[in-house]
Structure 1
């Protein structure tokens, strides 16, 4: 059972997410996101509270059937380890070659090779929970880091170029095709629109090596069929980008998904074409996108986060 502190912290996050969505509807997603990224008071509190919730409450309840933050981390780490150590990526590549031969799609014959430590980019990391695994070389980034082993970065805006540049604990740019794994652990539901969630996944695609993994976990306490169409739309959208879904599990409180960057984008696009259903479109929606304000409103946290918190700066100073 959740403690009062647990409920308080959780409600604060819900307030922040709701205020950001309301601001996006009011002034536009791009402006709202820019203002949010500059609201250091809210971001700092968010980071502190997230670290507290994850390390004090979720890790304490980690045995509850993968319902905690530590379990989303464990699931991601375990899957990545088995994928690379057992060389499952080679089996996936063989499948892609077989498909390519059947439909006349050329697959690069160069062997994929991944060695320890595997390079992992943890987006929205907060406090760098993957740091405890010695088989990862972690670059942890967040809008507002909770400690000095996480680097400040707006993943939606950071340039992807020929090298990674970090100055004064801030990521200035990231190197393309340089990561074995990109993780979005409870990240996409934070982002206020389908368009920006798509942008985040497109950024991940640019950063991953061929055969690399995009690992996504997202909260959902409903039964497996409740939001199944949305999950299928996620798979369809990511396939259009060039990702192949290779693992999906629905647990009591979350979905966990693993996507592979295909050797040839056309292989994934072919799957999307063959499996497209009438309700599918190029989108990454979450259930909250379709709720009205009264359904979403949370008022139990003592630090109330209002839409106005994301209007603190004049828009003309935004580059």
Structure 2
């Protein structure tokens, strides 16, 4: 049974998400997001509450698969260990090479594994991945909850030839410099498909070839309920140059691992072959289709945060 404090924290987080979606419907997603990123009071409270939810309440349920905070981290660490340290990437590289021959492409690649792996944790809040020696973590968020996290908006950050951080704020990120980028409970926070795609486009620019983009997004329905949306996500990311290497529907979330193909045309070939009539270039979530979703989804959003 959730305590009153737990409910209070979760209710605030839910209301921030609902208000952002409501403003996006009135002002347009870009304007709503811009205003949201400038509301320092809301962002600071949001970060504080999210950290308390995760470290005080969610970690108590760390042995339970339904615990969103712990299970998404463990899932991500296992994927990265298998892919990099255990060299699963070799079989995907071989597949890329085979396809590239059919397309007459020239590929360049190097040994992927390095110790530690460079990880960009976007929307990190409090930097949970810093506990793992496998990673050298750059954790970023709109409003950091502690000094282990840098301030950064993945939608607006400059991408250039070096990473520049000034006064705990990321001014620029170096292109093709990260082995791993995590979007854990981030994309559904963004109020439109276009903004979600933009975040993934920036991830593509920041990842090294064969690097991994990890996406976790909440969903308490059965595996088939939103499968069409997830197929559109896979198609869209393939068009951007990613191939899916891992997918798992846990009780309360989708867990996905995507690999930056050695050549964008390799991934796009999959998208071309597998596209169906109802497959859209879009990354939508159920709330995008429901009017006045801030009321309709209230109980479900709150339930997810109380797990």
Counterpart CA distance in 2 for 1:16 and 1:118 is 33
Q: Normalising by structure 1, report the TM-score.
A: 0.91
Alignment of 1:1-319 (within 5 A): 1-101=1-101, 103-293=102-292, 294-297=295-298
Structure 1 position 200, deviation (Å): 0.3
Native 8 Å contact 2:151 2:169 kept in 1: yes
Deviation, 1:194, is 0.4
Output the CA distance in 1 between the equivalents of 2:225 and 2:2.
24
Instruction: Note the C-alpha offset of 1:269.
Output: 0.5
How big is each residue's C-alpha offset from its partner over 1:136-195, in whole Å with a ceiling of 9 and x where there is no partner? 000000000000110001110001011100000000010000000000011011111100
Q: Which moved more, 1:161-170 or 1:24-33?
A: 24-33
Q: Which has the higher contact order (CA 8 A, sep 6+)?
A: 1
How many angstroms apart in 2 are the aligned matches of 1:59 and 1:263? 38
User: Displacement, 1:118?
Assistant: 0.1
Shift of 1:66: 4.7
Over residues 241-300 of structure 1, what are the superposed CA-to-partner deviations in whole Å (9 max), with x where a residue is unaligned?
A: 0000000000001110000000011111011111111111111001111111142357x9
User: 1:65 & 1:187 partners in 2: Cα distance?
Assistant: 20
- Counterparts of 1:221 and 1:296, CA distance in 2: 12
TM-score (normalizing by structure 2): 0.94
- Tell me, in whole angstroms, the C-alpha distance in 2 between the residues paired with 1:2 and 1:224: 26
> Does the 8 A contact of 1:67 with 1:254 survive in 2?
no
1:110 and 1:154, CA in 2 relative to 1: closer, same or farther beyond 3 A?
A: closer
Which blocks of at least 5 consecutive residues in structure 2 are unaligned?
303-307
Given that residues 96 and 107 in structure 1 are in contact (C-alpha distance below 8 angstroms), is that contact kept between their aligned partners in structure 2? no
Report the Cα offset of residue 11 of structure 1.
Answer: 2.1
Give, in angstroms, the shift of residue 88 of structure 1: 1.0
Return the structure number with greater helix share: 2
Q: Secondary structure at the match of 2:64?
A: coil
- In the alignment, the residues of structure 1 paired with residue 195 and residue 88 of structure 2 have an alpha-carbon distance, to the nearest angstrom, of 31
How many residue pairs end up in the alignment?
299
Name the SS for the 1:59 alignment partner: helix
Contact 2:100 2:107 survives alignment (8 Å): no
Deviations 1:81-133 (A, max 9, x none): 111001111211011111222x2331414334321100000000000000000
Asked if the contact 2:175–2:206 (Cα under 8 Å) also holds between the matched residues in 1, the reply is yes
